Structure formats: structure tokens, C-alpha cells
Amino acid sequence: GQSLEQPSEVTAVEGAIVQMNCTYQTSGFYGLSWYQQHDGGAPTFLSYNALDGLEETGRFSSFLSRSDSYGYLLLQELQMKDSASYFCAVRYVNTGFQKLVFGTGTRLLVSP
Amino acid sequence: EAGVAQSPRYKIIEKRQSVAFWCNPISGHATLYWYQQILGQGPKLLIQFQNNGVVDDSQLPKDRFSAERLKGVDSTLKIQPAKLEDSAVYLCASSSTYSGGLLPLGSPLHFGNGTRLTVT
């Protein structure tokens, strides 16, 4: 089976940097994705790591260590609009098809 | 490009009633997913289609849930009869098979706005 663990909640202030961790156990691992979801909204794709290392997209960076089954999402220069839930999702291959399973999510609260 | 369309946006039914949700994916996307998201939890995959064939329905409660994707485009998800624990947001998503490049980029999922179901 597949399992992912994320801290349930993280708080930070505007302008700060926050790191949200994700550990996983999976077979047929292909890559790790991150999605953002505002309350009442749909999840939206942020990033994807298939190889070890850091991927940067503007204020967002995502890191993957395949040997440690670990990844994190880093948000810099936090803004109020970053308050949302952040889900890591493992992409794996089973029966010849790519599949995606989501973690329980980390709720980020950004205060002034 | 137009996004994933879902309807209805909200639905309230009594337990033991039936309900159906509709999804129209992004044009050309071969893969379609239905996820159930209970408040405070991550999305849980119910069923995944590749074109009009089922790839994974291992977590679909088949005694009450059914889904189809005729002609490999639109899809409907039905619950009959509904239970209180079915109260959740039902999310439809679609993705293309590959995003291009030397390595498959894992094709991001594009989600619709979901249907919020309340079973009383």
C-alpha cells in the first residue's frame, strides 16, 4: 500500500519562510507532487519532483530525497494569500498505469 | 483552455436517496479521476479511467457507487443509496498521459470545483 505523512498544521507570519514536510512509503515510486487548496476551492498543482534535489518556481521550492522517502515544500516571502492547505501526493506505477495518492495535508496559517 | 467542469456545485439529499454527479474533463485529456474529499482530509481516489476503461476502482464502494465514462469524454458518478458518511466533496480531475520532454513529467492533475454533497 501507499502511505504519506504530513504535519497537520503550520503557522507563520507574513514575509517569513516556511517548510512543510512529507514522508512516504510506497512501491513503484515515480515522483512527488505538491498541490495547494484554499478553503472551498479545488486543489491546484504547484510542483513535481521525479529526481532528487530542489525545484524552484518563484517563491515556491520543492525538494525530494528518494533514498530517504522524504520531500518538502518551501514557501518564501509568505503572503496572506498563501494561507491554504498543502498536499503532497505520491505518483506511482501499478499495473502499468500511473496513479496518484494524496497525503492528509498541512494547513498553513499566515498571520500579519 | 477551458477547465474541468462539474455539476451540480451543491447537493443535499436524505439518506437512502440516490444522486449523480457529472464531469466534463479538459479536452484531449485521456485520464479522468473521481476523488472523494471528506472535510479536513486529503482527496481519496474512488476511480480512475484511462479513456473509457477503468484503471483503478479498488476504493470505490461498489455496492453503492458506480461510475462510467462513455465515449472516453464525460463521466458520471452515482451513489445509490446514499449514507450519512458519504457527505463530502466529490472532485473530478483530468490529466494528459505525458507532459512532454525526455522524462514523463507526471502530468499534473487539473481539478474541477467539485460537488459538495450533504446527506441528512
Q: For the segment B51-86, what is each residue's pLDDT rounded down to a tens digit?
A: 889 989 999 999 999 999 988 899 999 999 999 999
Strand ranges in chain A using DSSP code E only, listed in sequence order: 3-5, 9-13, 18-25, 29-37, 44-49, 53-57, 60-65, 70-75, 84-94, 97-102, 106-111
- In this complex, which of B41, B45, B106 lies closest to A104 when CB atoms are compared? B41
Our CA-based measurement puts residue B1 at a distance from the nearest CA of chain A, in whole angstroms, of 15
Percent of chain B with pLDDT over 90: 77
DSSP SS3 for B84 = helix
The span from the CA of A23 to the CA of B74, in Å, is: 35
DSSP SS3 for B70 = helix
Structural contact between residues A20 and A10, judged by C-beta atoms closer than 8 angstroms? yes
* Chain A residue with minimum CA distance to B114: A42
- Contact: A31, B108; criterion CB under 8 Å: no
Whether residue A73 is predicted with pLDDT greater than 70 in this model: the reply is yes
Whether residue A112 is predicted with pLDDT greater than 80 in this model: the reply is yes
pLDDT of residue A32: 95
pLDDT of residue B99: 44
Q: Burial of B22 by CB count in 10 Å (0-12 exposed, 13-18 middle, 19+ buried)?
A: middle
Q: What single-letter DSSP state applies at residue B51?
A: T
Residue A39: phi and psi, rounded to 5, are -55, 130
> Which of A89-93, B56-60, B82-86, B97-101 has the weakest average pLDDT?
B97-101
Whether residue B104 is predicted with pLDDT greater than 70 in this model: the reply is no
Q: Which residues of A touch B103 (CB under 8 A)?
A: 50
Whether residue A99 is predicted with pLDDT greater than 90 in this model: the reply is no
Our CA-based measurement puts residue B54 at a distance from the nearest CA of chain A, in whole angstroms, of 11
Q: Which residues of A touch B113 (CB under 8 A)?
A: 41-42
Our CA-based measurement puts residue B84 at a distance from the nearest CA of chain A, in whole angstroms, of 20
Whether residue A12 is predicted with pLDDT greater than 70 in this model: the reply is yes
Q: Which residues of B touch A50 (CB under 8 A)?
A: 103, 105-106
Q: Which residues of A touch B107 (CB under 8 A)?
A: 98
Encode A38-66: b = buried (16+ Cβ within 10 Å), e = exposed.
Answer: eeeebbebbbbbbeeeebeeeebbbbbee
